[in-house]
Structure 1
Amino acid sequence: MSQNAPIPPLNALKAFRSVGRHLGFSIAAEELHVTPAAISQQIKNLEAILGVVLFHRNGRETQLTEAGQILLPGIEKGFNELENAVRVCRAHGDSSYISCNTVGAFAARWLVPRLPNWTERHPKVDVRISTTSEWVTFDRQDIDLAVRLSTGQEDGLQTELLQVEKIVTLCSPSILGQDPPLRKPEDLINHQLIHFAPTNGRINTRWADWLELTEIDSVDPNRGIFLSNGMAALNAAIAGQGIVLAPKTLASDDLERGTLVVPFDIELPTDFAWYVIAPSENMERPEIRAFKEWLISEAKMNDKG
């Protein structure tokens, strides 16, 4: 190919980048939301344009050829610079906004109720909140920062502690005085357990482990209501449907209002806490730094409360 030959189509390069990173056509198709056949066609077109073979395919195994190994680092670097340039350009647009990603329960129970405080201080900076249980891919999802449960060790990302988490028992105060009452852990045998099992599996909210910690074997840990949605689990507890084992942060406002109480002081240990997470370059934007600092100040006020 001559030095003045046009650059191959962006979609073909994007397909090559994804297949090269994952060494799999099906995974690349899932990542780019197209069919494996479409990915295969893009790779064939790119190989025809470049005049080289980029992958060896042997059954389910995919390997880069020598030419593919030469091409991939440059394509990765090019896309990273392109995506960063787009982010910087958007940051200097007429409409200033911050895109924040978190899980649905944290958004609904903690973040959204506090947003008026941010808007009052920063009326010209909008906040766009997206929610997902999957881990964030900052360079492909147009996300500025995320709030997630983490150990604080995330490769290539800047993390800052927002809120220490505690896994506690939660229920409506009306349950405490029911007949039969709920006064000690052994009384759980007479009440319904609400099981909250997060789909991302990052925290342990298993009743079996809590009961083992309390050395109680008279309560069946496999009975009750099973929910994967944190908001649904907390709403069930507020409605008096049983006792849930869940992150205390998600219930902080309910505990303050008195719609939920912690019946027992026994906590299930966890290594996870809520962190503000972002690529280091994103923190160069003043409004993102300000939003991160505001989040931390709100968390400190929550602790004092």
Structure 2
Amino acid sequence: MLKHWPPLGALRGFEAAARLGSFHKAANELHLTQSAISQQIRSLEAYLEQPLFFRNGRSVALTDAGHDFLSTTQALLQQLSVGVRRLGQYRKANQLVLNTTPAFARHWLLPRLGDFRRRHPDVDLWLFSTDEVPDMATQTIDLAVRDDISAQAECSFKVLHADCLYPAAHPSVLTLPREQRTTLHGEREMDWSHWAVEAGIDVGQQDQGLNFSDPGLLLDAACGGLGIALVSQLLSQHARDNGLLQPLVEATIRGPNWALLTHRDSENDPLARSFSQWLIGNLTPGGSDE
């Protein structure tokens, strides 16, 4: 048994840098500075008394020893994450951790949480919204509902809803002449180029305007009367029901697929099943959607 172990932070920094092939990317992932990552790896190399990386300017590559130590480090961190996850049985009773995107949380889930709470008051829901796709194997998350997620190890994967997109605006914007309407631009599927290719309908969209990286903020801007936008049919339903959005045309184009990821440890959890059944019921046509 070793009398002294390398610091856990140094092992995490090494694993991230080795996996990503970059000290800079490792620093971004771990929310550290690049100099901090470099210092961690230097201290680890000093402890092991051999280099783990070849350094050539800004590029880095693993040495043979580095490749060997990477497999050991990843196995160690994985085992530690599993052990930490098992401690979840000692956490606050009835807690359910749900990860989703900020846009889904704000525009779809939040307006319906009251209904879920009335139906399942015993579930202590922790809503964990992130822009980044979570790693379900290393984070204590029971369920994830996202439009940017794919199958992961240790999880079941189910596509819940095939979304559609359509051009819309606040009713006040539609009283303006088309040439006076500001165009709101989004990213990914909400880019107007998809509408031009798939629908081929000119609704007065312009190349210039306001640009948004967050689809939730794009929807907020459209509801606030800032201009016309290509929006999610699923996320905009609450706004349409409340008279904040009106479609420019009836046509729609394909949007992203919303999927549910359930960690293997939570598949038989009655709390997770309660939420999953409620979610599917609300996303399925004809299901309850208050």
Measured against the shorter chain, the TM-score band is: 0.7 to 0.9
CA contact under 8 A between 1:158 and 1:278: conserved in structure 2? yes
2:279 match = 295
Cα distance in 2, alignment partners of residues 85 and 124 from structure 1: 27
Find out whether 1:276 has 2:251 as its counterpart: no
SS at match of 2:254: coil
1:113 match = 111
CA contact under 8 A between 1:168 and 1:246: conserved in structure 2? yes
1:68 match = 66
Q: 1:72 to 1:286 in 2, by over 3 A?
A: farther
Cα distance, 1:191 vs structure 2? 5.3
* Aligned length in residues: 288
Matches within 5 A, 1:215-294: 215=200, 219=204, 221-270=206-255, 272-294=256-278
Q: Give the greater-gyration-radius structure (CA).
A: 1
* Greater displacement, 65-74 / 227-236: 227-236
Cα distance, 1:83 vs structure 2? 1.1
Cα distance in 1, alignment partners of residues 243 and 213 from structure 2: 24
Cα distance, 1:113 vs structure 2? 1.5
2:131 match = 133
1:47 match = 45
Cα distance in 1, alignment partners of residues 226 and 39 from structure 2: 54
Cα distance, 1:87 vs structure 2? 1.9
1:27 match = 25
CA contact under 8 A between 1:194 and 1:237: conserved in structure 2? no
Cα distance in 1, alignment partners of residues 193 and 45 from structure 2: 55
Cα distance in 2, alignment partners of residues 285 and 273 from structure 1: 25
Cα distance in 2, alignment partners of residues 153 and 142 from structure 1: 18
Cα distance in 1, alignment partners of residues 234 and 207 from structure 2: 25
Identity rate of aligned residues, in percent? 31
TM superposition score normalised by structure 1: 0.79
Cα distance in 2, alignment partners of residues 4 and 236 from structure 1: 58
Cα distance, 1:165 vs structure 2? 0.3
What's the RMSD between the two structures over aligned residues?
A: 3.0
Cα distance, 1:32 vs structure 2? 1.9
TM superposition score normalised by structure 2: 0.83
Q: Deviations over 1:212-235 (max 9, x none)?
A: 555456945214443344344334
CA contact under 8 A between 1:194 and 1:233: conserved in structure 2? no
CA contact under 8 A between 2:11 and 2:73: conserved in structure 1? yes
Cα distance in 1, alignment partners of residues 234 and 204 from structure 2: 26
Amino acid in structure 1 at the alignment position of 2:119: R
